Amino acid sequence: MKRIIGWGITLGGLAWLGWVIAVRVEEVQEARANPEVVVIPPAAVRVVPVQETTLGQEVQATGEVRARAVVAVFPKLGGRALEVLVDVGARVEAGQALVTLDEGDLGWRVKQAEAGLKAGSAGVRQATAQLELAETELARAEKLFAEKALSEAEVERARAGVRLAEAGVAAAGGQVAIAEAGLGMAEEAASWASVTAPIAGVVSKRYATVGQMLGPQGPVFELVDDGRLDVVVDLDPSVAAAVSAGARAEAVVEGVGGPRWALTLRHVAPAVDMMTRRVRAEFELVGAGSESDGEIAAGRRLIANMTAEVNVTLGGDADARLVAPVGAVVRLPEGRSVYVVRDGKAVRVAVDETAGASGGDRVALKGGDAADAARPDDKVIVEGQGDLRAGAEVRIASEAPAAPDAAPAPETAPKPDAAPKPDAAPTPGGAPEAAPTPEAAPKPEAAPETAPGHAEGDAAPEAPKAPEGTTP
């Protein structure tokens, strides 16, 4: 009895499986007889117009912001610090006092020199009076000699007295000059008791404290001239050889917001550094010391030793070129290319691979009249070009990236009432003539996908078409 029941169940299952295969074959034949046309809408892309500009080869390097003048301040004489007048970060002017030292006996030396000058001045007056007296004696002697009342020897003696008086005046004048120099030196030494700033700038380091013994052997301050800043870059020798006075450069300074800073080349070292095997180039930061360019939104200024990322442009084309963003470039069998939109379709335009056709974040496009050449009115696809092919229809979206609801997936999916309905497909446990409910509809669809009938040639080729826009 059990064997009869088992054979019955087996025969019933085979009958049901044969019926499912027959229904599926009938559906496939009906689909072939009435093929459904699937319309794929154009892909949404984002575009930017091509630009016409000159390009040059760009080299990136890391450098440092350096003050052109960094001065260590030394006292000219030794002494104890009585007063320290500035601190780190203070802005000073040239000649401004920084530290006051104990004068010691410098004041007495000045008074001594002043007294010596007064004595010298008195000696000049005395010598001048003696000269006047000698000249008077000479005039009287010459008069008496003319009257033959005086001998010629007496006249010569009077003339020697004049010459002697003149030498005394000159000697007294020399003593005055010596006294003046001594006074100047004493006053200069007294001024050294006040250590002053040799340049205008900002105090970057302070070494002096009140009561400390200072001397010429050690600095008391370090000053930085932040009004003249440079960017120092160590370049590869091959790059340095191409850098000339006309080279353009710009820098982004770490920790400082705002646009890029324009740089002007000052000079390139004439030799390769033996340690680093690099060539040092110095660029001037244009406007770094002005209030408009030096100040930034955060209220900070560019300061020495900041890190800067420098882009140096080497030469370039003299004529303007049509360029596109480097992010729009795609690699194709034909070479690096970009897609542009013409008449609603994607058209491939070749990238110019010649030397000097790259400019950092931009690339030059092929010119001329060829089919893959750029046109001045072209719009370059910068988003959505990865899956495109030449000739594909495209739709220009807004400048902003496409929103999720603008994706083409909902447009390619057919409406529910357009999908084929397996009205004759039974539920796994129901009779063949019972139509499935909407909730049970997906179950018979899964059964034919694993049915052996797909390997027989008719049904198998149809399976790959399902993802193209129709839902089986």
**What distance in Å separates the CA atoms of residue 53 and residue 237, rounded to the nearest whole number?**
29
| pLDDT for the residue 71 | 93
**Domain boundary residue, one of 364, 390, 411:** 411
Model confidence at 200, pLDDT cuts 50, 70, 90, reads: very high
Span 405-444, pLDDT tens digits: 333 333 333 343 434 444 433 333 333 343 333 343 343 4
Rounded to 10 degrees, what is the CA torsion of 162, 165, 169, 171?
120
Same domain, 384 and 454: no
Q: What is the pTM of this model?
A: 0.47
pLDDT, position 106: 77
Same structural domain, 403 and 341: yes
Residue ending a domain, choose from 168, 192, 216? 192
Three-state DSSP class for residue 372: coil
**What pLDDT, on the 0 to 100 scale, is given for residue 34?**
66
pLDDT tier at 360 (50, 70, 90 boundaries)? low
Q: Supply the mean pLDDT for the chain.
A: 76
For residue 36, name the pLDDT band (cuts at 50, 70, 90).
low
The answer to whether residue 450 is domain-embedded is: yes
Q: Residue written as tokens 């002043």?
A: 114
Residue 90 in 3-state DSSP?
coil
b/e sequence 202-226, b meaning 16+ C-beta within 10 Å: bbbebebeeeeebeeeebbbbbbbb
Here the CATH number for the domain that contains residue 334 is: 2.40.420.20
Give domain status of residue 360, yes or no. yes
How many domains, in total, are found in the chain?
3
The answer on 109 and 25 residing in a single domain is no
- Work out the average pLDDT over 378-405: 74
Sheet holding 201-206, edge to edge: 70-73, 221-224, 201-206, 91-92
List, edge to edge, every strand of the sheet that includes 79-84. Answer: 194-196, 97-101, 79-84, 213-214
Domain hosting 130: range is: 103-192
pLDDT digits over 247-283, tens only? 678 888 887 766 678 888 888 888 999 998 999 999 8
Q: End of a domain among 167, 192, 217? A: 192
- Can you point out the beta strands (E) in 115-228? 194-196, 201-206, 213-214, 221-224
pLDDT digit string, tens, across residues 326-343: 889 999 988 899 999 999
Percent of the chain whose pLDDT exceeds 70: 74
- The arithmetic mean of pLDDT across residues 229-251, rounded, is 80
Q: Let me know: does 285 contact 229? Beta carbons within 8 Å.
A: yes
Per DSSP, what are the bridge partners of residue 262?
A: 250
Q: How far apart are CA 444 and CA 449, in angstroms?
A: 9
Largest CA distance in the chain: 192
Asked whether residue 300 is domain-assigned, the answer is: no
If you count DSSP H runs as helices and E runs as strands, how many of each does the chain have, helices first?
Answer: 7, 23
User: Is the pLDDT at 92 greater than 90, yes or no?
Assistant: yes
Q: Is the pLDDT of residue 402 over 90?
A: no
The lowest-confidence range among 12-21, 241-250, 340-349 is: 241-250
The burial of 386, by beta-carbon neighbours within 10 Å (0-12 exposed, 13-18 middle, 19 or more buried), is given as: exposed
Instruction: Give the mean model confidence (pLDDT) for residues 63-81.
Output: 90
Rounded average pLDDT over 111-120: 86
Band of residue 359 on the pLDDT scale cut at 50, 70, 90: low
Q: How far apart are the first and last CA of the chain?
A: 43
pLDDT at 376 over 80: yes
Q: Which band of pLDDT confidence, cut at 50, 70 and 90, is reported for residue 96? A: very high
353/114 Cα distance (integer angstroms): 82
State how far Cα 446 lies from the chain centre.
60
Q: Is the pLDDT of residue 355 over 80?
A: no
- Whole-angstrom CA distances from 73 to 19, 197, 223, 335 are 104, 7, 7, 62
Q: Residue 436 domain-assigned?
A: yes
Domain-embedded: residue 237: no
Q: Is 75 contained in some domain?
A: no
Q: Are residues 157 and 124 in the same domain?
A: yes
Residue 204 · residue 70 · CB < 8 Å: yes
Whether residue 351 sits in one domain with residue 418: no
Sequence-distant contacts of 435-444: CB under 8 A, at least 24 apart = 444/20
Q: Does residue 405 sit in the same domain as residue 436?
A: no
Does 129 map to a domain? yes
Residue 319 β-bridge partners: none
In DSSP notation, 286-328 reads TTTTSHHHH--TTS----TT-EEEEEEEE---SS-EEEEEGGG
- pLDDT per residue over 51-65, tens digit each? 887 666 677 888 999
Instruction: Name the nearest CA neighbour of 56 among 267, 238, 248.
Output: 248
Between 301 and 342, whose confidence is greater? 342
Reported as a single tens digit per residue, the pLDDT across 130-184 is 888 888 888 888 888 888 888 888 888 888 988 988 898 898 888 889 988 888 8
The phi and psi torsions of 283 (rounded to 5 degrees) equal -120, 140
Query: Residue 86's pLDDT is what?
Result: 94
**Could you tell me if residue 216 is inside a domain?**
no
Contact by Cβ (8 Å): 73, 202: no
